[in-house]
Amino acid sequence: MSMLLIQKQPLPLSVRPRTTLRQCRLPTTRFSAAAADSASRAAPFAVEDYLVAACHLTPAQALKASKVLSHLKSPSRPDAVLAFLSGLGLSDADIAAAVAYDPKLLCSEVERTLAPRLAELRDLGLSPSQIARLALVDPARFRRPTVVSKLQYYVPLFGSFENLLQALRNNAYLLSSDLERVVKPNVAFLVECGLDACDIAKLSIPVPRLITTNPERVRAMVERAEAVGVPRGTGMFRHALLAVAFLSEEKIKAKAEFLKTTFRWSDAEVGVAVSKLPLVLKHSKDRLRRMSEFLITKVGLEPEYIAHRPALLTYSLERRLMPRHYVVNYLKENGLLEQDRSYYTAVQMSESAFMDKFICPYKEAAPSLALDYAAACRGEVDASYDHSHLLGFYSPFLPCRGKLEAILNQRRFRNKTVWEINPLWTSQKHLLSESFVLDYLKVGQTCYLQQGSFGEILKANWRGTPIAVKRILPSLSDDRLVMRRPMQKVFTLKTPQLVHTVVYFQLFCFCYWFV
């Protein structure tokens, strides 16, 4: 028995290797964790790479923003912020713009800062999309507690959140300015000057710093507005304040002197014009020079007349003043419009009213007028073109044809020359090339008839109608007197065989008449 017991003792020993194996595995696990931790310390959080990969910044933007975020050791907080912004509905491009504008936004605590601010803004009645746009306008102010109280003041002042948002895009200081010391005193003073909330909101968009600047500067602006002849409480006061808001007294005096010289105004006339149109002080000198040259030299308006109607200076020279002058002058020259009809009245009309009054009634008498006017409004007429000679728009001969149609429809001829060479035509070959005219009139189907001292007579065809063509000899095309003589004879002829006349002049000059 004793011998058996001794042999059974090794049985417990056979378990020891398993126990030893388990005990050896634990240090291995601890060693792996320690190695991983050591490896993480060896490779710190790469902020610049994170900004490019996760926030979609450009390498240049990431390099600049990483200097502000160099203290970040982990992406956990930035990841939470990105998830929050995505939840607002911001796209990757929006998030990139917000982070580039305010990199410290990634350091915000979502639970303690961003989420509570979101709840407060929702309580104000803002929709998620409005909150998202607000966050994009000024991410730095968006996360501050004061944003709520300022929105409570600004939204009623501007009339709507959309109006406020437009003002914020021009002046982010609205959310950072002191309401009690700066904004509210400025608004109260402007109300004393006769402006209501709507006027102040409209002014704050073109003049963003109006209500956020020093109150003393606002009082100085009001004094300058009164100095140009616009008293407080008048309907023009808001425009005067807009014109002189950030102009010094020296600049205002210099612009008044420029107006006096350019438009040949007296001091009194300058005062009249500025009081009626204060924004003329903000017009560029080049624009004012061109306006003066056209209205006084080309249209023939008196300086005093313009001073009492400065609204003329608010319209586009190329798109409104010139085309309508062409039309009015054209109709007057052909006896289709009373000579005393006011050009100023024609300019003031809306486009539809102008068409009804000055274009549509003359479709038969001047069929090309509508096309010519449309071409002029599209800018296809050189601004320096002198209309006193001929209404020369895109088509080289349609205006003159319309003029002669008007004469023929009235059953009378005029003993005067109604054409004149426009020197600009010689440089506008892309519009008035000889081939263009030949194609349009189909003069290519010609038959030589006779040659004279000044030119040659050809028989041709235009739109199925036989025509006679007198072509001035190229050697005489620069002699204006030579070309005037045959034209005077053509326009004074009274014969039933002469049905219609069309005139076209360029480097090679043509005279067309229907027979």
The answer to the question of residue 177 being in a domain is no
The answer to the question of residue 57 being in a domain is no
The string of pLDDT tens digits covering residues 399-418 is 333 433 333 333 333 333 33
How many domains would you assign to the chain? 2
Q: Are 217 and 187 in contact (CB under 8 A)?
A: no
Q: C-alpha distances in angstroms, 95 versus 52, 60, 176?
A: 12, 16, 22
Are 379 and 439 found together in one domain?
no
Give me the pLDDT at residue 465, please: 61
Please report how the helices 249-262 and 267-276 are oriented relative to each other, as an axis angle in degrees rounded to 10.
110
Helix and strand totals (H; E) in the chain: 28, 5
β-strand pairing of 465-472 with 510-514: antiparallel
The answer to the question of residue 510 being in a domain is yes
The answer to the question of residue 473 being in a domain is yes
The answer to the question of residue 27 being in a domain is no
The answer to the question of residue 11 being in a domain is no
Query: What value, to the nearest 5°, has the Cα angle with vertex 400 and ends 398 and 406?
Result: 100
Q: In 3D, which of 418, 414, 364, 422 has the Cα closest to residue 393?
A: 422
Strand, helix or coil for residue 314 = helix
Enumerate residues 6+ apart whose C-beta is below 8 A from 261: none
| Burial of 388 from C-beta contacts in 10 A (0-12 / 13-18 / 19+) | exposed
Are 369 and 440 found together in one domain?
no
Task: Please give the residue range of the domain that contains residue 331.
Answer: 315-383
Are 510 and 441 found together in one domain?
yes
CATH number assigned to the domain comprising residue 489: 3.30.200
Q: End of a domain among 362, 383, 404?
A: 383
Phi, psi angle pair for 87, to nearest 5°:
-65, -25
Q: Are 425 and 417 in contact (CB under 8 A)?
A: no
Instruction: Name the pTM for this structure.
Output: 0.58
Distance CA 359, CA 491 (A): 26
Sheet order of strands, 455-462 included? 447-451, 455-462, 465-472, 510-514, 500-504
Phi, psi angle pair for 469, to nearest 5°:
-120, 125
The string of pLDDT tens digits covering residues 130-176 is 998 988 888 888 888 888 999 999 999 998 999 899 888 888 788 88
Distance of CA 304 to the CA centre of its chain: 32
Distance CA 240, CA 227 (A): 10
Strand, helix or coil for residue 445 = coil
Give me the pLDDT at residue 363, please: 87
Q: Are 508 and 474 in contact (CB under 8 A)?
A: yes
The answer to the question of residue 110 being in a domain is no
Q: Are 394 and 403 in contact (CB under 8 A)?
A: no
Are 508 and 445 found together in one domain?
yes
Residues of the chain with pLDDT under 70: 1-43, 381-450, 453-454, 460-467, 469-515
Distance CA 86, CA 132 (A): 10
Give me the pLDDT at residue 336, please: 86
Phi, psi angle pair for 83, to nearest 5°:
-65, -40
Give me the pLDDT at residue 344, please: 93
Two tokens, residue 66: 């990483």
The answer to the question of residue 45 being in a domain is no
Q: Are 252 and 216 in contact (CB under 8 A)?
A: no
Q: In 3D, which of 332, 327, 325 has the Cα closest to residue 293?
A: 325
Q: Are 189 and 215 in contact (CB under 8 A)?
A: yes
Give me the pLDDT at residue 409, please: 38
Give me the pLDDT at residue 483, please: 56
